[in-house]
Amino acid sequence: MNSSTVASPVYVDRRGNSYETRPGKAYPFGAYLTVHGTQFSLFSRHATAVSLCLFEDSADSDPALEIPLDPELNRTGDCWHILIHGIGAGQLYLYRVDGPFEPDQGHRFNPFKLLLDPYTKALTADSKWEMNQALGYDPNSPLKDLSRSETFDGSRFPKCVVVDDENFDWQGTRPLNYPLQETIIYEAHVRSLTKHPSAGVANPGTYRGIIELIPSLKRLGITSLELLPIQEFDEDEYSHRSNPETGKPLTNYWGYSTLAFFAPKATYAADGQRGEQVNEFKEMVRELHKAGIELILDIVFNHTGEGDQMGHTMSFRGIDNSIYYLLSPDNRRYYMNFSGCGNTLNCNHPVMRGLIIDSLRYWVQEMHVDGFRFDLGSILGRDEYGNLMENPPVLDRIAEDPVLRDTKIIAEAWDAGGAYQVGSFPGGRWCEWNDRFRDTMRSFWRNDPHQVSKFATRLSGSSDLYKWDGRKPYHSINFLTAHDGFTLNDLVSYNSKHNHANGEENRDGSDNNNSYNYGYEGETNDPNIVLTRTRQIKNFLASLLLSTGTPMLLSGDEIRRTQYGNNNAYCHDTELAWLNYDYEQKHPDILRFTQLLIQLRKKHPVLKRQEFYVGRDLSNNQVLDINWYNEFAQAVDWHRSENLLACRIDGSMKEIHSQKDDWDFYLLFNPGLYDQYFTLCDPPKGQHWTRIIDTSLPSPEDFREPGNEEQLIGTRYYLVESRSMVVLISQR
């Protein structure tokens, strides 16, 4: 009965247009164009009735045509489907789903609500999200739940858009899929990169705006652009709150409340009305790839924007709540909340697992994305009861999926429910955000005592975390700052967070920042403090880009972008969060320093190790692959409280697993309050040490460019000033 050759009724809309239908097929889910029209399919196991609603305009409150799906003709197993002749790209649609309303059993069907297709590839951009606050559970009446309501204004709700994915001209470009050891990640936000007037782009705040900024990204030298969430979310989610300093409404700026996992954000497009955002997103990817820059997406499979039991029914909750979400075993009216955002997706249920894989494959195959960073990735390792699993099916599936085999997969290896899996994230080839690298680097350069051992471990690739299960140094995503936390400028300018503009009385955001203001909270003209902060920023940047592992740089750190001490700017689509390019003229020394560091890293295989150090002389040149020294070129006391440290890295081809010899590198670190002479060990025979970096010196002396290195012939000692580091190389 489910064959597409079996006729279904002909339907007529309110304008007299007739639509011939066929039963359609159960798979694939979503709306797919065929030679005959559009095939629609929706999963719902517990629904008793499903209707497909077709709209003429995004502002329409009611559908032009509502087609009830016949369970005898239009259902296969748990799949509701139909093929409609003559419907093409640009058609707007939603679903209406009915079934049991039994919150205590986890069922929240509501036939009065219009719902988004979980597989939609685009939403309309000019509609506001329908947020009827009379939809929650009344905690004072356990038998009364108000979420089944006739109140719904469809004009204030986005519509799904049928998309044509087959006719985009990629001009021969493909995902770049750089090896991890060659990768330098730049974390950014579509609007932050492009919206400030100083960006000088014709399309601020959009995918096309990023295209205009590609020359700037190339000059910086990064290989991979990682964007904060671009999958559809409600940016007006916090509009009922206001900035107490300005009185203006707040916004969901970062976008960590996904509602459509296949759909690029329409309002990030110059023209996102009828699915054009899909082509604009593809244009951005294509042009990035032409310029040699990968695209990595930050994705949020751990929860949705529907909130807790007091939240809003927009898609998953009204389609099959008990399947898509982790519900409390004591009372399935309530949601488990390992995300800190009200709900948690049931990621290891076969249906949700299928959606995750389908979504990832779509972004790789159809959108040519190079990788993904999984927000609160530990949630993907929880079972239906919320327990962490030893071998989570979805994580193994992502790691082993043949389509995703060359795609970068990066986990934020913790969640808001107490899971912390840095160094032990399951699933084989996963990379991880290494927050231990971040914390150690901050503590070392703040000169907290007893940091030398931890600093050396992080600098050399965190073998304690990644070697034991067969992973490599590049599986550590090294970072100092990220969207969540202080910028690099603020890390050396504030002792504490200043989040009052978020409207939460400064309670939000981390209090554990390991920051230091060096004598004054915030901006200052004190020359000594300014000098110290500049040194420390250079120390941080050099430590990041010279460390073994995959570095990630926060956008704007290369020009000292500030958020004025706000370490949680999730709700500000304002100049507070935008990248002000005027800082390029204010801090050209930091920009130059960063560019040269990136060039240095990209040029030298000794800085891009594929294997961990073993502390042995593999090349028989009487030099270990890495040697650690104190300030007297003697063995290090790893228990000492002073943080004086030096290391020499052998650049022999056998040591670095390269096709040719590289330089030896000699790194000297002094985060202390006093200048310190370091004794230098002997350079390789027939060579001498030359200086390329000294962070205590003003630009351009702080970083000598290739061919202009300072030769230290016959030098046995080097004065490393307080709060500075030095990089020497061996040359003939």
The amino acid occupying position 165 is: D
117, 232, 412, 655: the active-site residue: 412
| Contact call for residues 304 and 316 (beta carbons, < 8 A) | yes
The amino acid occupying position 536 is: Q
Residue pointed to by tokens 């926060």: 554
As given in the structure block, the two tokens for residue 541 are 């940047």
Q: φ and ψ at 673, to 5 degrees? A: -85, -10
| Contact call for residues 289 and 175 (beta carbons, < 8 A) | yes
Helix (H, G, I), strand (E, B) or coil at 32: strand
As given in the structure block, the two tokens for residue 330 are 């004591």
Could you write out the three-class secondary structure of 54-108?
Answer: EECCCCCCCCCEEEECCCCCCEECCEEEEEEECCCCCCEEEEEEECCEEHHHCEE
Question: How far is Cα 357 from Cα 355, in angstroms, rounded to an integer?
Answer: 6
Question: How far is Cα 19 from Cα 498, in angstroms, rounded to an integer?
Answer: 58
Orientation of helix 435-445 relative to helix 452-459, angle to 10°? 130
Q: With 0-12 CB in 10 A as exposed, 13-18 as middle and 19+ as buried, what is 473?
A: buried
Question: How far is Cα 214 from Cα 196, in angstroms, rounded to an integer?
Answer: 16
% helix / strand / coil in the chain, to the nearest 5? Answer: 25, 20, 55
- In eight-state DSSP terms, residue 520 is S
Which of 682, 689, 671 has the alpha carbon at shortest distance from 727?
689
Question: How far is Cα 628 from Cα 452, in angstroms, rounded to an integer?
Answer: 10
Residues with Cβ within 8 Å of residue 354, at least 6 apart in sequence: none
| Phi-psi region at 387: left, alpha or beta (left = phi > 0; alpha = psi -120 to 50) | beta
98, 287, 370, 375: the active-site residue: 375
As given in the structure block, the two tokens for residue 628 are 């650690």
Q: φ and ψ at 528, to 5 degrees? A: -70, -40
Residues with Cβ within 8 Å of residue 133, at least 6 apart in sequence: none
- DSSP structure string for 637-688: -TT-SS--EEEEE---HHHHT-SS----EEEEEE-SSS-EEEEPPPPSTT-E
Question: How far is Cα 323 from Cα 343, in angstroms, rounded to an integer?
Answer: 13
Active site residue 235: no
Active site residue 375: yes
Question: ∠ CA(495), CA(501), CA(505), 5° rounding?
Answer: 75
Active site residues: 375, 412
